[in-house]
Amino acid sequence: MEKIAEEIIVNNRHGLHARPAAIFVQIANKFDSRVILEKDGEMVDGKSIIAILSLGINKGMGVRLIVEGSDAQTTFEELKEFLAKNDD
Amino acid sequence: MIKLKGIAASSGVGMGTALCLGREEFTVPKEKISHEDISREIYRLEEALIETRRQITTLQKKIAQDLGFDHAKIFEAHLLVLEDRVLIEDIIQQIKNKKVNVEYAFWQSIKKYIDALLKLDDDYLRERVVDIEDVSRRVLRKLLKKDVTNLGDLKEKMVVVAHDLSPTQTASLPKENVLAFVADVGGRTSHTAIIARSLRIPAVVGLEVATRNIKSGDRVIVDGSEGAVIVQPTEKVFKDYQRKSERFVKEMKAITIPKILKAKTQDKRKIIVSANIELPEELPLIEEYGAEGIGLYRTEYVFLGKRQLPDEEEQYRAYVNVAKKVAPSSVIIRTIDIGGDKFLSQPQVPKEMSPFLGWRAIRFCLAQPDIFKAQLRAILRASAEGEVKVMFPMISGLEELTEAKKILEECKRELRREGKKFNESISVGTMIEVPSAALIADALAKESHFFSIGTNDLIQYSLAVDRANEKVAYLYEPGHPAVLRLIASVVKDAHNNNIWVGMCGEMAGESLFAFLLLGLGLDELSMPPPSVPRVKELIRSVKYEDAKLIAEKAVRLSTAKDVERYLQDELRKILKDNFERLVMT
């Protein structure tokens, strides 16, 4: 079982709110791996829109993305690309 | 009688008896369950989630059909909540561990999340809370078997009044029984407003105090074009509005002349009758009412209601979409008219004493070159994809026009350097809406490809009348000889300099004045789409030579009342039996 964890700066212009949060959850749910987002010591399920919204992540904030499972590598890469993408 | 002012969200007039939707308060019973009941409660949860999901996807399909796929995304967050693992797990744990009924467990979990989201103090998230509450109430109604909401009371035609209408509520109302919508909250771009427009139901939102001033059973008038709601109107006001409403309905239905016929007088003078457009969902109306392109495309919608300014790409996509939809006709894109009563989220603009005389429109743009240039570049790039013209609002002197044109040239140079395509000879127009501009139109004409007279502001500035102020609103008279003389001199200056001149104010869509404007020599009239067929038919029924003589005489009269009476008398003689239908409706 592979586990990857990395600190990522969120560059998406709306942070992880509204539609970006919905897209993040949709990507995460394509994969089998467990996805966890951690901000200021609080860890939430990355496949839950409600949990992600409750973190209140704005552009420029750092989050820790933790992915664990058989397809961890691809899951991690896709999610990281989405978070770090600057769509301004 | 009380008159309430709100935001015009969907045009038309709706009048009738009010039905107030209370804030739906649920009493969620807490019940202890036994160990054997656990699986039954979990089964009920699953059933409710599946059933709600089915309802929302049905709504989503309906919206996608009516409004396009993009708008259907409104319900994306709704669906994700129904599938949310953390939420569902939380509810199941409560049922199992605390041995409580599913309704109670569900509501406790939802409340926990909503409270957490509200603490974040963020406008975007607050909107999401509305979605989560909306979908949760639907699930709860299923669980409580209160499937018949209070909207079920809507068995006859009524005006629906609510503090807030959720998107799913709006979309699932029995449309045939809704005369109009009234809501305390919301804006012109809120989901509810968008849906109301697609259903063609008049709506006024953002009234703040509507639910406090209206009781179920009250007689109300909803003017979705003006953004006004009148509670318990006097008999006279009610009758006036009845006429206005009938006229609107008639215009929506009675397209009496084939769309392809041009606005040509009997002595073969042709003028362009085009449409004023603000929102993307209004675009189909161009074709529907047979308008010849867009004489005024307001770009504020692209900017307002956004957390961040739209960048060049986002604007480019919006403008190209419009250009392609009106092709082969043209679209006149007006650069943003911000200030006055419309503001952006950023930059923050300090409150002004007289906002309509303050930092707005071209004055704002010239001071914010980055914002201005992004828009001009987007418009220029769109001009490669269709017949696009650009127009500057609120020009009060020649310097502003030359400065704006200088920035436009700068943008052209940049685009050339970057190898991006645009129409090198794009038409540049000046909006004539400040009296000083009207008086130096000869100078402005030498620097413009066309003029468009914006009468709403021109009347307000030349007569010094704030139309929103009820005490002086009676002084706002489009037929005032001072206004007509300004218009006549602008047309003369334009034609002496070989440029064409149009009008994009409300005045252009009123039959009586459309006839006068034809006579004054206007080349184009741009108006709300539903007015187009009537004005076209009117123009096809008259002679330009007659209109010219009558207009020349009208501008020499002394009062607005004299002008209107004179025009009515003359038009009645010309139109005979068609007068009532084309002018007085």
SS3 content of chain A, % helix, strand, coil (to 5): 35, 30, 40
Structural domains in chain A, CATH included, are 2-84 (3.30.1340.10)
The residues facing B390 across adjacent strands are: B333, B428
Half-sphere exposure of residue B517, counting CA atoms within 13 Å on the CB side?
35
Q: Which of B73, B85, B128 sits opposite A53 (nearest CB)?
A: B128
Q: B348 — phi, psi (to 5°)?
A: -70, 130
Rounded to the nearest 10 degrees, how much is the dihedral formed by the CA atoms of B540, B544, B549, B552? 90
Nearest to B47 by CA among B142, B136, B168, B137: B142
Lowest mean pLDDT across A68-72, B19-23, B536-540: B19-23
pTM exceeding the 0.80 threshold for the entire prediction? no
Catalytic residue, chosen from B20, B191, B365, B480, is B191
The residues facing B526 across adjacent strands are: B274
DSSP state of B584: I
Q: Which of A13, A26, A48 sits opposite B86 (nearest CB)?
A: A48
- Burial of residue B327 (CB within 10 Å: 0-12, 13-18, 19+) is middle
- Given CATH 1.10.472.10, say whether it is the number of domain B2-23+149-249: no
Please report the beta strands in chain A, taking only residues with DSSP state E, as ranges in sequence order.
2-9, 34-39, 42-45, 62-69
Asked whether residue B122 carries a pLDDT value surpassing 70, the answer given is no
- Pick the residue from chain B with its C-alpha nearest to A34: B85
- The number of beta carbons lying within 10 Å of the beta carbon of residue B179 is 23
DSSP state of B14: E
Q: Is B191 a catalytic residue?
A: yes
Residue A14 identity (one-letter amino acid): H
For an interface test with B, the pick among A49, A55, A61, A88 (most B C-beta atoms closer than 10 Å) comes out as: A49
Half-sphere exposure of residue B22, counting CA atoms within 13 Å on the CB side?
6
Residue pLDDT, tens place only, B235-276? 988 888 888 777 777 665 555 567 778 899 999 999 999 999
Interatomic CA distance for residues B440 and B295, integer angstroms? 23
Within chain B, all domains assigned CATH 1.10.274.10 are found at 35-143
Q: What angle do CA B261, B430, B524 make, to 5 degrees?
A: 15
**Strand B13-21 relative to strand B158-162, pairing:** parallel
Residue pLDDT, tens place only, B342-398? 666 556 666 777 878 888 899 999 999 999 999 999 999 999 999 999 999 999 999
Interatomic CA distance for residues A59 and A63, integer angstroms? 11
Q: B476 — phi, psi (to 5°)?
A: -80, 95
Q: Domain B270-584 in CATH: superfamily?
A: Phosphoenolpyruvate-binding domains (3.20.20.60)
Asked whether residue B148 carries a pLDDT value surpassing 50, the answer given is no
CA B387 to chain centroid, in Å, comes to 23
The question of ipTM being above 0.85 is answered as no
Architecture of domain B35-143: Orthogonal Bundle (1.10)
CB–CB contact B117 A53 (8 Å): yes
Residue pLDDT, tens place only, B189-206? 666 776 787 677 899 988
Rg of chain A (C-alpha set): 12
